[in-house]
Structure 1
Amino acid sequence: MKLTLTKALPSNLSKVIVLDTDITFATDIAELWAIFRKFTEKQVIGLVENQSDWYLGNLWKNHKPWPALGRGFNTGVILLYLERLRRMGWEQMWRLTAERELMSMLSTSLADQDIFNAFIKQNPVLVHQLPCFWNVQLSDHTRSEQCYTEVSDLKVIHWNSPKKLRVKNKHVEFFRNLYLTFLEYDGNLLRRELFGCPSQASSESTVLQQALEELDEDDQCYDFRRERIMVHRVHLYFLQYEYTPTDDGTDITLVAQLSMDRLQMLEAICKHWEGPISLALYMSDAEAQQFLRYAQASEVLKNRKNVGYHIVYKEGQFYPVNLVRNVALHNVNTPYVFLTDVDFLPMYGLYEYLRRSIVQLDMANTKKALVVPAFETLRYRLSFPKSKAELLSMLDMGTLYTFRYHVWTKGHAPTNYAKWRTATTPYKVEWEADFEPYVVVRRDCPEYDQRFVGFGWNKVSHIMELDAQEYDLIVLPNAFMIHMPHAPSFDISKFRSSPSYRYCLTTLKDEFHQDLSRKYGSAALKYLTAQRNI
């Protein structure tokens, strides 16, 4: 591909820098661009000398490399003067060189690098040799040590071994730590104009600045309001994702969000839910790298390609739970979504059961939210029930409980667990204050209200809006999910210990009610009335 860039890139592009993906920059790339000015009139390619003995042909008996000038050149970093290459007929020249050598060599060993070197051997005047520090090649057999013992300011480190970070070079720990340190930088450092490059302020930053100026700094809830307008860095599809749509239009994605302290739930969820999953992970740059290593080491996660992982990078002092949920919700490929939390395990077979229910309840043509009843265990090791009958038996024995019955009954009481015990057909329930069930809805459902951050009212507000939009809440008689125990989150601890936190949550609730009334008119009055009666 590198050989074809004169043709593949726009004809008005005069210069290009070509980089392998296994290099680490330790300097401003502007310095590399400046080297084009040092080219003589005839020079068209800038390269660093090869630092292994490959082209000397002495690595093993009968080793026959392609022709090269001395040690040859490494093509991990290339400066191409496209304009001059086009003028001299580069495309035809490299092809003739390749065809001539292939008559005796039969194939390349190092792909484009062999052809570049054979061409340069015939036309040495065309190459501008870059200093070694622009491509320090850390291979298993290398002379790169000579470069970094003589030069204090290395510019580009090239992991030129197939083993990459496990290369046998005796100085590899120094370079490896340099690379890992870079990965764990706060990515916000890279958003700033570090090198004073002149640029127009983006419309996004201008809008953000205006929104910040409209906030009252003396407002007790300033930090909460600022959170709502904060722009987060987001890396969609952090790992490989593959999804094949189903033919029947009933497919459903499990949607959830999590932070580093819930990572251990992922393998269990993958075992309980075979359908597609969309997960948004709220993490720092360093945590994202830890997650990457965790996912690559897990046989369960490695084998599941239909899980979309989306990183929302940490910013601010609150967990923007609804913003993170919306990232997961917006990046769904199926017509339906199961909106849940990552600390719940769905019953075995729930995916297929929900798909059948979508057809039976005509979800495509009606506004319904299917409620999946929630239960919990206080045991870290649970023999997971295989059926509703088994679950009811465990309820009676006290191994399981209805979710949050002992601390927050109102959250799930409208599910009507007493009715569910004997129900064999779906039944409708009415909205009640503070109801926050886990539901299956069409993908085009309202998004979560992003003013709610941290702990409190993040799901309640979403169910209220579904009800305001006249979704019917339908409880499924043979569906269930079980909450697994874990330590309390940082945000719930803040909520419990901070009167200011609780005051601001109440203020945000009131404002949400007012916005709901403006949006849905008199139909939204019942929410305000219900709140006042509590």
Structure 2
Amino acid sequence: QPCRLFEIRRFLCPRLASVTFMTSENQARLFGEYGRSLLLSPCLSETPEARVLERAVLESRVREMEEENRQIRLQLNQLQGTAGQPADGGNYGNAAWGASADTGPEDVENTAEERANHTECPRSPTVLKCELIHVACVCAGHNASRDVVTLVKSILFHRRNPLHFHFITDAVANQILSSLFQSWMVPSVQVSFYDADELKSEVSWIPNKHYSGIYGLMKLTLTKALPSDLTKVIVLDTDITFATDIAELWAIFRKFTDKQVIGLVENQSDWYLGNLWKNHKPWPALGRGFNTGVILLYLERLRRIGWEQMWRLTAERELMSMLSTSLADQDIFNAFIKQNPVLVHQLPCFWNVQLSDHTRSEQCYTEVSDLKVIHWNSPKKLRVKNKHVEFFRNLYLTFLEYDGNLLRRELFGCPSQATSESVRLQGALEELDEDDQCYDFRRERITVHRVHLYFLQYEYTPAGDDTDVTLVAQLSMDRLQMLEAICKHWEGPISLALYMSDAEAQQFLRYAQASEVLKNRKNVGYHIVYKEGQFYPVNLVRNVALRNANTPYVFLADVDFLPMYGLYDYLRKSVVQLDMAHTKKALVVPAFETLRYRLSFPKSKAELLSMLDMGTLYTFRYHVWTKGHAPTNYAKWRTATTPYKVEWEADFEPYVVVKRDCPEYDQRFVGFGWNKVSHIMELDAQEYDLMVLPNAFMIHMPHAPSFDISKFRSSPGYRYCLQTLKEEFHQDLSRKYGAAALKYLTAQRNI
């Protein structure tokens, strides 16, 4: 508490994040319109209104702290001798709060000066301005990969130092996280991955009852898994949320004595006391034991004392009587510490406030503003019981739905090592002419969107005959209602790219988890492309779905179409019948539409033709864009019994089945217009034969027009730029495919 006397001097800079942790809980709501601006802003906000609000909030906070400090002074006058105690509640059996064996000469000098000026409250150790902080996590599977993103956001939000994340992953998490960080492009952040499969043999011999499985034991292997020249690392569970700068935790390494190698917070439940239920027999621990959700590992010293051999001997000895671990690595860490208590540095409890049902976490803090790290270590996660759980949940949800693009900020004053990709993008950006009328369109083409692959659980077993087909489509939030119907019509694998904000992605997650249809389908890959910029990057989103299809063939569709029942099996047979493995073919699935929101879906071609004759169905875009599908030759299709070839014509944009290695969509086309047309042109330029399937069909379901088509219809500038991009595409096609591509330019001029 004495340290609060000096907090006011440090409060006003350099960031207002601490404003969110006020003493009054009703001021801690983080999602108000102005509250969000305060949460995101640096010392000075951009708008006068925000500055006025900041000033009011700061003045209120200052007055509040002055009164609090006045009360503290009164207490200090009454309680002699208490002023010399450290602000974190004690030294926890460790070295004194001042200089330790790892403190450099400069730190010793600063510490002495502090003691001379403020003997009652020496300042906590700090890190150098641009010191690199290392963080390690074990992450396996789809769900953990999703959880770790929220952890990373909370760290990035508060951080002022360069970071190096070390992820021990399985193949799934490696694919997801490597793609995410590569597309996130956060300055001053390095990421390394380590194969968990190579470490399994180190811990697979340990029987473990914990729900984390074998991955819950991986933290024991970090001295071996991480680089040998890495001296220190902060180890975190994926269900952690930071409420402060992680540099404060990193600085505690400087307080370790010569012998201390592990920093841990005391366990806040009675688990290791063995009194939770009758015949409860936990592993041995020192008192209440320690929780391993947050660990400071002094790797260099651990290697020096032979950590790998020591924890193995401890585990072997205890397993003779315990038979298995109940809390995975935590049991072994605690048994080791029980035998070697001098090696542990006990961290203040606010560095790991544990929110499981049997904890005494409320005793760890008096105000929520004291919190540093929140640990959702109950299997029930956000549904845990705690008197402040609403505050904790709001804090967690803030980072869960926080726009990750805002975290791409440079660290002021710290050199950032530019990647080859960032250099390329900067060069491309500098080449653009800001006076160009179509500058915004051109800039969109080089925008890098964050991509989170396999946002939900995904399981796919390849078909043995190499004929499998994946339905590929893209969508945004306003088409979400189509997913259940598509899953009912198509039983094969699906690859979907969803263009959403961080908050919308969480809405989608809740929607999918509540849907009986969607949660029972594991062969659907959902890939989030996060929103950025003013246009819908439709072809970029399509390409994400296309690249992540796992079958030899793909059905390139749109999400507002329902395929006929049985189309999946029919397409697989057609792949064989038309020898697609050895020829370049694009199989055309004829498209129809209905204007009715409620439709008795046709069960056969004959039933569809009857509905077509009655006017219940129409050929797709017959009324507004006949050219888009006219070359399909619907008149011939009515009586066709075998596949027939059609020729490319200008503006043809059918839905096709092709090999997965087909050309990608051209990403210069954004929003509305020519996104599919350009793709079919390139297929034709590569001499794909367009073959119409006689017994296949798909039906477009009605919906409100998209925002982009409205812009196209209302903006002459939009239409001008689309025409400009068309002409440039034709020129690029001619350069790429030579004289054979001249027909496209000729056809365009004849329109």
Residues 327/102 of structure 1: CA separation in 2 closer, same or farther (3 Å cut): closer
Q: TM-score, normalised by structure 1?
A: 0.96
Tell me, in whole angstroms, the C-alpha distance in 2 between the residues paired with 1:134 and 1:195. Answer: 27
Tell me, in whole angstroms, the C-alpha distance in 2 between the residues paired with 1:532 and 1:462. Answer: 19
Bigger relative contact order, structure 1 or 2 (CA pairs below 8 A, ≥6 apart): 1
Instruction: Render the CA deviation track for 1:227-278: whole Å, top value 9, x for unaligned.
Output: 1111111112222222222222211111111111111111111111111111
Residues 66/319 of structure 1: CA separation in 2 closer, same or farther (3 Å cut): same
For the pair 1:78 / 2:295, whether they are aligned, the reply is yes
Residues 58/396 of structure 1: CA separation in 2 closer, same or farther (3 Å cut): same
Q: Percent identity?
A: 95
Instruction: Render the CA deviation track for 1:476-531: whole Å, top value 9, x for unaligned.
Output: 10000000111110101111111111111111111111222222222222222222
Deviation at 1:103, TM superposition (A): 4.3
Residues 118/321 of structure 1: CA separation in 2 closer, same or farther (3 Å cut): same
Tell me, in whole angstroms, the C-alpha distance in 1 between the residues paired with 2:661 and 2:270. Answer: 60
Deviation at 1:209, TM superposition (A): 1.6
Tell me, in whole angstroms, the C-alpha distance in 2 between the residues paired with 1:325 and 1:408. Answer: 22
The gaps in structure 1 that reach 5 residues or longer are none
Give the match's secondary structure for 1:79.
Answer: strand
On the 8 A contact 1:137/1:157 being kept in 2, the answer is yes
Equivalent in the alignment of 1:476? 693
Deviation at 1:381, TM superposition (A): 1.3
Deviation at 1:99, TM superposition (A): 3.8
Give the match's secondary structure for 2:699.
Answer: strand
Deviation at 1:307, TM superposition (A): 1.3
Give the match's secondary structure for 1:128.
Answer: strand
Q: How does 1:476-515 map to 2 (within 5 A)?
A: 476-515=693-732
Tell me, in whole angstroms, the C-alpha distance in 1 between the residues paired with 2:368 and 2:467. Answer: 62
On the 8 A contact 1:373/1:479 being kept in 2, the answer is yes
Residues 103/459 of structure 1: CA separation in 2 closer, same or farther (3 Å cut): closer
Instruction: Render the CA deviation track for 1:121-173: whole Å, top value 9, x for unaligned.
Output: 22221110111111011111222112231573422100122211000112101
Give the match's secondary structure for 2:366.
Answer: helix
Tell me, in whole angstroms, the C-alpha distance in 1 between the residues paired with 2:279 and 2:629. Answer: 76
On the 8 A contact 1:133/1:151 being kept in 2, the answer is no
Residues 196/346 of structure 1: CA separation in 2 closer, same or farther (3 Å cut): farther
Give the match's secondary structure for 1:295.
Answer: helix
Tell me, in whole angstroms, the C-alpha distance in 2 between the residues paired with 1:65 and 1:163. Answer: 21
Q: Which moved more, 1:21-30 or 1:162-171?
A: 21-30
Deviation at 1:13, TM superposition (A): 3.0
Deviation at 1:27, TM superposition (A): 2.5
Tell me, in whole angstroms, the C-alpha distance in 2 between the residues paired with 1:327 and 1:232. Answer: 11
Deviation at 1:198, TM superposition (A): 3.1
Q: Which moved more, 1:239-248 or 1:356-365?
A: 239-248
On the 8 A contact 1:446/1:465 being kept in 2, the answer is yes
Equivalent in the alignment of 1:253? 470
Deviation at 1:195, TM superposition (A): 6.9
On the 8 A contact 1:414/1:430 being kept in 2, the answer is yes
Tell me, in whole angstroms, the C-alpha distance in 2 between the residues paired with 1:6 and 1:217. Answer: 52
Residues 128/405 of structure 1: CA separation in 2 closer, same or farther (3 Å cut): same
Residues 141/393 of structure 1: CA separation in 2 closer, same or farther (3 Å cut): same
Q: Which moved more, 1:89-98 or 1:141-150?
A: 89-98
Deviation at 1:223, TM superposition (A): 0.6
Tell me, in whole angstroms, the C-alpha distance in 1 between the residues paired with 2:548 and 2:467. Answer: 17
Equivalent in the alignment of 1:95? 312
Residues 395/334 of structure 1: CA separation in 2 closer, same or farther (3 Å cut): same
Tell me, in whole angstroms, the C-alpha distance in 2 between the residues paired with 1:93 and 1:365. Answer: 60
On the 8 A contact 1:16/1:81 being kept in 2, the answer is yes
Q: Which moved more, 1:153-162 or 1:143-152?
A: 143-152
Tell me, in whole angstroms, the C-alpha distance in 2 between the residues paired with 1:470 and 1:198. Answer: 50
Tell me, in whole angstroms, the C-alpha distance in 2 between the residues paired with 1:69 and 1:181. Answer: 36
Tell me, in whole angstroms, the C-alpha distance in 2 between the residues paired with 1:159 and 1:197. Answer: 33
Tell me, in whole angstroms, the C-alpha distance in 2 between the residues paired with 1:511 and 1:104. Answer: 75
On the 8 A contact 1:17/1:78 being kept in 2, the answer is yes
For the pair 1:106 / 2:323, whether they are aligned, the reply is yes
Tell me, in whole angstroms, the C-alpha distance in 2 between the residues paired with 1:47 and 1:432. Answer: 69
Tell me, in whole angstroms, the C-alpha distance in 2 between the residues paired with 1:450 and 1:103. Answer: 61
On the 8 A contact 1:23/1:159 being kept in 2, the answer is yes
Tell me, in whole angstroms, the C-alpha distance in 2 between the residues paired with 1:66 and 1:74. Answer: 13
Residues 100/246 of structure 1: CA separation in 2 closer, same or farther (3 Å cut): closer
Deviation at 1:64, TM superposition (A): 3.5
Tell me, in whole angstroms, the C-alpha distance in 2 between the residues paired with 1:253 and 1:17. Answer: 42
Give the match's secondary structure for 1:64.
Answer: coil
Deviation at 1:313, TM superposition (A): 0.9
Equivalent in the alignment of 1:522? 739
Instruction: Render the CA deviation track for 1:425-452: whole Å, top value 9, x for unaligned.
Output: 1111111111110011111211111111
Deviation at 1:105, TM superposition (A): 3.9
Deviation at 1:397, TM superposition (A): 1.2
On the 8 A contact 1:250/1:335 being kept in 2, the answer is yes
Tell me, in whole angstroms, the C-alpha distance in 2 between the residues paired with 1:451 and 1:133. Answer: 50
Residues 418/198 of structure 1: CA separation in 2 closer, same or farther (3 Å cut): same
- Give the alignment partner of residue 317 of structure 1, picking from 514, 534, 543: 534
Tell me, in whole angstroms, the C-alpha distance in 1 between the residues paired with 2:631 and 2:311. Answer: 74
Instruction: Render the CA deviation track for 1:180-209: whole Å, top value 9, x for unaligned.
Output: 110111101222235765321222222112
Aligned residues: 534
Instruction: Render the CA deviation track for 1:262-303: whole Å, top value 9, x for unaligned.
Output: 111111111111111111111111111111111122222112
Q: Which moved more, 1:329-338 or 1:345-354?
A: 329-338
Deviation at 1:421, TM superposition (A): 0.5
Deviation at 1:106, TM superposition (A): 4.1
- Give the alignment partner of residue 260 of structure 2, picking from 22, 43, 49: 43
Tell me, in whole angstroms, the C-alpha distance in 1 between the residues paired with 2:222 and 2:267. Answer: 22
Residues 533/196 of structure 1: CA separation in 2 closer, same or farther (3 Å cut): same
On the 8 A contact 1:50/1:73 being kept in 2, the answer is yes
Q: TM-score, normalised by structure 2?
A: 0.69
Tell me, in whole angstroms, the C-alpha distance in 1 between the residues paired with 2:335 and 2:412. Answer: 38
Tell me, in whole angstroms, the C-alpha distance in 2 between the residues paired with 1:452 and 1:495. Answer: 13
Residues 232/196 of structure 1: CA separation in 2 closer, same or farther (3 Å cut): farther
For the pair 1:134 / 2:351, whether they are aligned, the reply is yes
On the 8 A contact 1:233/1:313 being kept in 2, the answer is yes
Residues 465/8 of structure 1: CA separation in 2 closer, same or farther (3 Å cut): closer
Give the match's secondary structure for 1:428.
Answer: strand
Residues 92/521 of structure 1: CA separation in 2 closer, same or farther (3 Å cut): closer
Residues 521/98 of structure 1: CA separation in 2 closer, same or farther (3 Å cut): closer
Tell me, in whole angstroms, the C-alpha distance in 1 between the residues paired with 2:676 and 2:299. Answer: 56
Tell me, in whole angstroms, the C-alpha distance in 1 between the residues paired with 2:449 and 2:550. Answer: 23
Residues 197/32 of structure 1: CA separation in 2 closer, same or farther (3 Å cut): farther
Tell me, in whole angstroms, the C-alpha distance in 2 between the residues paired with 1:189 and 1:121. Answer: 45
Tell me, in whole angstroms, the C-alpha distance in 1 between the residues paired with 2:596 and 2:561. Answer: 13
Residues 6/497 of structure 1: CA separation in 2 closer, same or farther (3 Å cut): same
Instruction: Render the CA deviation track for 1:35-55: whole Å, top value 9, x for unaligned.
Output: 212110011110001112222
Deviation at 1:60, TM superposition (A): 3.3
Equivalent in the alignment of 2:669? 452
Tell me, in whole angstroms, the C-alpha distance in 2 between the residues paired with 1:235 and 1:19. Answer: 21
Residues 196/261 of structure 1: CA separation in 2 closer, same or farther (3 Å cut): farther
